[in-house]
Amino acid sequence: MHTFATPEETAFPDCLLALAPHETTVKLSIRGRYRLSEADTQDLVRDAMLRVCLRNEYTAVRRPGAALQIAADNAAKDDWRRTRRYSRCPVDDALPACPAA
């Protein structure tokens, strides 16, 4: 019978603690490079932290700052590509849908 490890038995909590000191630096880097709002930057970096820790669930991250920077850069690039591919329209309650491009 296979038993699954609990979060306490994994490196996940330790990973989040290792990435936390690098969060502000990565936020500033991503926000300036990709011209993101503060809220979007916060979301991207926090998502990147979770992704790094999920990938390294059972092992420690060797270079937490670099791992977080790379994951946040990749997330910002993906968001930029998605925005370019699927342009956003302004929200207007009077219009039922986006105008045709």
Tell me what percent of the residues of the chain surpass a pLDDT of 70: 75
Distance of CA 10 to the CA centre of its chain: 21
pLDDT at residue 39, as a whole number: 93
How far is residue 71 from each of residues 19, 29, 47, 53, 84, measured CA to CA in Å? 12, 12, 9, 11, 20
Tell me the whole-structure pTM to 2 decimals: 0.72
pLDDT digits (tens, 9 = 90+) for 13-32: 888 999 999 999 999 999 99
Report the Cα–Cα distance between both ends of the chain, in Å, rounded.
Answer: 56
More confident residue, 78 or 8: 78
